[in-house]
A and B are shown apart, each in its own frame.
Chain A
Amino acid sequence: MKRLNQFTPNQKILGLAFLLVAAFAVSCLAGRFPLPGLQSPVQLFSSPLNQTILVHIRLPRVIISMLLGMALSVSGLVFQTILNNPMVEPGFLGVSQGAAFGAALAIVAFNGKSSQIQLLAFLFGIAGLGFSILLANRFHFGHWVMRLVLAGIAVSALFSSGLGILKYLADREEKLQSLSFWLLGGTSGVSWDSLIPIIAPILIAFTILLLLRWRLNLLSLDDETALSISVNLKIERLIFLFCAVLVTSLCISICGLISWIGLIVPHIARKIFGANTHFTVPASMLIGGILMLICDDLARVLFPAEIPLGVITAILGTILFLPIMTNKTIR
């Protein structure tokens, strides 16, 4: 860690960006064809089948994995900063549970059309946030953040019970299988067709978050201090929350539920860069992208059978999370 402190924050960001590019390149080389492991760049173009696998099979997966990791991580940072709570993740405020409920509703009620799954997952993710904010405004005690946290817990519980009912109603053989697969999460079904429509909104949301990242520092202050330096709390919080929920819901809508990354990556970023969101926002995105690329590489290359991505992120997340949380120097 001492060595890391010798670098300026900008140098560290550049280093992470380089690592992300390297992870992206390695992911393009990693696969099970023709043999499990890494191919040489020359091999990638050695036959039409190699080229097809690179362009149509690996590339969409690598891109969505990177975006997914970036989205979950930056969303986690936004939630943790705004809510002043280091234990929250994008699943907070009913977003993940709302998205899961929406997807399950599409599978059980509308016979599992993928476009409907994506749309309802996205809409119910947004609805989760909307319900939480509405409910928080109805509470008549405590400050806004505490009300929002309580409302998020209530809305999550509501969607969880709805999800439980849908799982109970699902056809034992077919729909429950689709539901379980979706809830475990993964990128194996991602193609250019499902990826292209979500790239633009995700990049726009990322750009907004990056441009406004320094304002996030102010939103982490208590209400009185923040208002004394003329911050429009409600609107700015809503902008950040909307962008975070947007990128999370869009990614969840095609990849299913992926846990842990959104919780642990902001902690890693704070460990390296301190609490300044000017650096932790890009750092979270870069670290999240790198971690998710590694997780997806393991999921698709380690064994002949795909390992559900959610399982890998949970294992890796736990391995990283425990030492971080037991380390006294964590900020």
Chain B
Amino acid sequence: MKIKSVLFTLLLVTLMLTFSSAFAESTTITDILGREITLEVPPELVVLTGKKTATIIEAPFMFAYGKDHVATSWGGQDGGKFNALIEKTTPEITDGSVEAVAAMQPNMIILKSYTREDAGLAFEETGIPVMYLSFETIEDYHTDIANLGKAFGEEERADEILAYYDEIVNRVAENSAQIADRKKTLLVQFSETDGVYALKVPPVSWLQTEIVEMAGGDPVWKDIGLNANSWSEVNFEQIAAWDPEVILVVNYFADPKVSVETLKSEPGWDMLTAVKEGQIYPFGKDLLSWDSASPRWGLGLLWTQQTLYPELADDIDLDAEIMKFYQWFGLSDEVIQANLIDVYHAEPELVP
């Protein structure tokens, strides 16, 4: 009797192991850097860490899997306010060092693509599969979202997310096709330290330039070969020489509405064509700006076209678009309205 029960237990364990390995499907993914990684899908724990994670930190939470299996740090340009809105069960990472991450024994580590040389190689040495994400261009989005879907075992969801972005791109492209004269547009980042501010334009290869072009604008900074890897500071003289028809002001760390008022009061600005004709605008922002290569770029694209060509884009209902976009993160309508739509519409002094 004893022997029988031991044999039965062994058989049961063998069957369980067989079935469990059959369910844990192994897959190979080619990440944005062209590296092949093999992992069991879905992995139990994924850690998103390293430097320069602002553009990649949110996309995993557009998948149901992310909320219970992806651990990240919660900082960022908004001090983690948006991240705090997402209901998730994974803990916040406070120590993103290689040893601390390895001690968590994740099944996969996600890092920003261009940090591989500085930080990624050390993470790769741990033997844990490392997937790099870029999210810097629309083309990158197609690769990265698809890879996340594959890694999380949610390929259908990835297709739905990409279809969402494609629909926006197509809608905007249809409107842009009707534009005969593209408006000379300047997108400028305003970064301030108590009254002393710097104005910077993005590299030509970045999403901000792509957004302005797709929306039908003519980026005035496009043909001048600026630094390809970071924002470049420009002075007022250069802006006056460009004399754009529309100026879009981005501020990542404060209210761009206030930045616009500051610029309008500076000497000489009232003589620029864009300011004289009331065509200087704070770039769309709720808790975070919509121009950057974060998942909100779809909102940024819609906002830019509506701002540049309101007559062509009167079918765009931005409030509805905001609601639609944030539902990808599983946020309720009430949370979206109170924390994002109302903040977007808020008067300058009310913006947190």
Contacts and interface: CB of A to CB of B under 8 A. Distances in A.
9 contacts: A34-B241, A36-B241, A58-B237, A114-B196, A115-B194, A171-B75, A172-B51, A304-B238, A305-B226
A116 B54 CA distance: 29
B7 interface: no
B271 A188 contact: no
B47 to A, nearest CB: 17
How many interface residues does chain A have, given as a range? 35 or more
B253 A300 contact: no
Interface string B195-210: 1111001000000000
Contacts of A56: 267-268
Interface stretch (B125-133, B228-236, B331-339, B341-349): B228-236
A235 to B, nearest CB: 38
Interface string B93-109: 00000000000000000
B193 A114 contact: yes
A197 interface: no
B330 interface: no
A35 interface: yes
Contacts of A117: 193
A34 B237 CA distance: 8
Given A34-B241, A114-B194, A52 B267 contact: yes
Interface residues of B, number: 32
A115 B196 CA distance: 10
Given A189-B197, A304-B221, 4 more contacts: A31-B237, A114-B196, A304-B224, A304-B238
Contacts of A304: 221, 224, 226, 232, 234, 238
B175 interface: no
Interface in A113-154: 113-117
B191 interface: yes
B33 interface: no
A126 B191 CA distance: 29
B194 A112 contact: yes
A112 B193 contact: yes
Interface of B: 51-52, 54, 75-77, 191, 193-198, 201, 221, 224, 226-227, 232-238, 240-241, 252-253, 267-268, 271
A198 interface: no
B175 to A, nearest CB: 30
Given A33-B237, A52-B267, A172 B75 contact: yes
Shortest beta-carbon contacts, A-B, top 6? A305-B232, A56-B267, A52-B268, A33-B237, A113-B194, A189-B196
B193 A306 contact: no
A57 B268 contact: yes
B196 A194 contact: yes
A48 interface: yes
Given A113-B194, A188-B233, A173 B268 contact: no
A174 interface: yes
A306 B268 contact: no
Interface string A15-39: 0000000000000000111111000
A210 interface: no
Contact of B195 (A53, A114, A303): A114
A178 interface: yes
Given A56-B268, A57-B268, A114-B193, A173 B221 contact: no
A92 B237 CA distance: 36
Contacts of B196: 114, 189, 191, 194
